[in-house]
Amino acid sequence: MANKKRATLKDIANVLNISPAAVSKAMHDDSRISDKTKKAVKRVAKELDYQPNHLASALRNGKSNLVGVIVPRTNSNFFSSVLENMEAVLNKASYNIIITQSNESFEKECKNIDTLLFTQVDGIIASMANETVDLSHYEKVKSNGIPLILFDRGENDLNVDYVGINDYDSSHVIVEHLVEKGCKRIAHIGGYRRTRIFNNRIKGYVDALKKNELPIDDSLIVESALTLEDGRLEMENLLRLEHRPDAVYVASDYAALGALQVLNEQDIKVPDDIRLVGFGNEPFTSLVTPSITSIEQHSKEIGRLAAETFLKHIAQPELKQTLNKIILDAELIIRDSSR
């Protein structure tokens, strides 16, 4: 079956015997067009199943009222909450969002950028993939004069607006909490150092150990992709050490869940034998047994602030030459796994 031809302004104009320009004005409620003509245009448009061509409109007007958003994944409560609150703010300002996900792939992230630029989005709000080291695709966004706001994961080298939590201080808060509970061999299952937020978490962990005069043991510091499977694997490796840790700080709740599964399977009591702390305050952390202590990442605030930062750029184009770094304080939610 042949594809149905897409209705155009000219098709509506032909039915009503008026000009396409008059149809366009009626669609936009132009005061120069009578209410009778507006009603007729909208009636025929509905009958013909007319759909506006936003790309063509963006090319004509230089404005699409679309904001491109890139996230590493959408199956995370953190990112879905960020998106929900970001969209709420942007919708009120008559903007819609186009959501893309990189699945932690640098190559897919580059393709997402190209797609969003082709779609003529008015701005891009992004959280980088784990694999991303080369920033040339983001430099392309900047060179096109399009507002770029990074959240959660972003690189200082880009010199763009950023919204996130204080990852360095978060590690201090976690280590101080575990030290207060008497822990002396605190392991860290972290992300890859090449990603700024995970590098800052590792730095904060190391500096907090030094502050509390605890030794730095490289065998207790692990880099991974922080999936549930990584949490299981690295927890098993830590348990094979001659001197196993008495606490484990994991830089992701999903990996922390994997670690907890291994501890439960091996009948290691949490927190009596090993205390456990995650990162992200995912909903499941309060539902598992024992419940997992975690860092609250303030997803609602991050989504709202990232959207508001974009809107400031639209309202004040001169802001493209300024930087707005919004860093939210760490908050530790203490539960049974470390209590």
Does the pLDDT value for residue 130 go beyond 70?
A: yes
Distances (CA, A) of 88 to 35, 65, 73, 175, 339: 32, 14, 19, 36, 37
Please indicate whether residue 6 or residue 60 has the higher confidence score (pLDDT): 6
Name which CATH class applies to 66-164+299-328: alpha beta
CA dist 191 and 152 (Å) reads 13
- Helices (H) and strands (E) counted in the chain, each on its own, are 12, 12
- Point out which residues pair with 188 in neighbouring strands: 221, 249
CA dist 110 and 132 (Å) reads 9
Mean pLDDT of 296-321: 87
- Cβ neighbours, 10 Å, residue 84: 12
Locate 70 and state its tokens. Answer: 């890139």
Name which CATH class applies to 167-297: alpha beta
Structure letter (DSSP) for residue 95:
-
CA dist 98 and 171 (Å) reads 33
**pLDDT at 265 (0 to 100):** 95
What share of the chain in percent tops pLDDT 70?
Answer: 93
At 131-187, the pLDDT tens digits run 888 888 988 988 888 899 999 987 667 788 999 999 999 999 999 999 999 999 999
Q: What is the Cα 89 distance to its own chain's centre?
A: 16
By C-alpha distance, which of 184, 243, 239, 241 is closest to 209? 184
How does strand 331-333 pair with strand 294-296?
antiparallel
* Torsion angles phi and psi, residue 221, rounded to 5: -115, 120
CA dist 52 and 58 (Å) reads 11
**pLDDT at 288 (0 to 100):** 95
Mean pLDDT of 83-88: 95
* Torsion angles phi and psi, residue 36, rounded to 5: -60, -45
CA dist 234 and 22 (Å) reads 66
Domains 66-164+299-328 and 167-297 share a fold: yes
Domain borders along the chain are 9-52, 66-164+299-328, 167-297
Mean pLDDT of 300-307: 95
Amino acid letter at 170? S
Does the pLDDT value for residue 211 go beyond 90?
A: yes
What share of the chain in percent tops pLDDT 90?
Answer: 61
Does the pLDDT value for residue 318 go beyond 80?
A: no
Minimum mean pLDDT among 91-95, 173-177, 273-277: which range?
Answer: 91-95
The model's pTM is: 0.78
